[in-house]
Amino acid sequence: MNDAKPAQPLLPFTRPTIDEETIAEVVAVLRSGWLATGPKVAQLEAELSRYLGGRPVRSQTSATAGLEMALLACGIGPGDEVITPALSFVATANVIMRVGARPIFVDVGLDSRNIDFDQVEAALTPRTRAIMPVHFAGLPVDMERLYAIAQRRGLRVIEDAAHAIGSAWRGKRIGSFGDLVCFSFHPNKNITTIEGGAISGGSPEELKAIELHRWHGQVKFGTDGFDTLLPGGKCNLSDVAAAVGLGQLRHLEAFNARRRELVARYFELWGGDDAPLRLPERGDEGHSWHVFTPLLPLPRLRISRGEFMEAMKARGIGVGVHYPAIHLFSCYRALGYREGQFPNAERIGRETVTLPLFPAMQLADVERVVQAATDILHGARK
């Protein structure tokens, strides 16, 4: 491919925005001498709870840890089945296997990338204990249908809302209602704690279980008493990370509003029938737009996805992939999954590209991406 140097600075597909006030707050934490879980973590959990309408919130070192602890808190383990989409980051399925349960994959909508509830209904068995949907790219799933199925069958719902902080379903924020809802604050998400995540919801007993699983299963009593109630892990957030999260949370609504403006420009420029790629479902103002992931028309091109990505890089534009279909990884083929079972997830996995989208971008950056991608794709037509 073209080895030419980028004519402009690299435009990554994502980049966090950290303001000087937040940096100063992190410095203050470092100077305080209290770096691990402490007052800043308690403050972040309280602020997130307030943002989510007063629901209880517990933080963790990652959304992955949160999903696993949510499953454990629900008592899900060996012999149980959890229905989940075949398209997500692999962590969504990995945590199901880590607790000893079996992931039951179903397909997704080609444009929404969200779980197909007709297939969920067909996948239910007497061993089904939970549904784990993903609000892909921040587009909420059909919450009414999700919880109708769960209520009818007595199932738990563990929402993988890693992409969806600030998203809303019919005016209600994701995480402000429902069962257990797990968010991610990785640096590529809509807000970050560097690494981190949080769970919203849960009964008092489940909250206690989550607290035990994130800190060695240990409780303290009296001045010097300790007991270990279960073999927990260590997934507690640090005050340094929480200070970053508090600064980010102040800007969440503005960040998401900017993301919607940038996406609107993508749709405006590629809104005609002659668009060179297939755009994702647009949704409404409840969509927080974590990523922008159109599909390449690979059958009509003389280049591969990798070659397209290299051509974009040569023009100074970073491109990612969100995501390969989970069931085609070796770990899940070993369970009997195979190619051809979930055609939409497989097509998305082959054709998807993640184009730049982050709050510090300018509309001119969107125009630069659109021009570069259009030129490359038109030049590569068969």
Measure the CA–CA gap between 236 and 65, rounded to whole angstroms. Answer: 10
Which residues belong to the active site?
Answer: 189
82 exposed, middle or buried (CB, 10 Å; 0-12, 13-18, 19+)?
A: buried
What's the CA gap between 144 and 141, in Å, rounded? 9
Instruction: Report the SS3 class of residue 103.
Output: strand
Strands (E), the chain: 57-60, 81-85, 102-106, 128-131, 156-160, 168-169, 172-173, 180-184, 197-200, 218-221, 225-228
Residues 6+ positions from 348 with CB-CB distance below 8 Å: 87, 108, 110, 113, 295, 325
Three-class SS state of 368? helix
- 3-state DSSP percent of the chain in helix, strand and coil, to 5: 40, 15, 45
The phi and psi torsions of 246 (rounded to 5 degrees) equal -65, -40
Token digits of residue 152: 């009818």
d(CA 240, CA 292): 30
Provide the token pair at 318: 């970073």
Omega within 30 of 0 (cis) for the link into 51: no
Helix orientation angle between 239-249 and 20-32, rounded to the nearest 10 degrees: 160
DSSP 309: H
Alpha-carbon gap, residue 34 to 278, rounded angstroms: 49
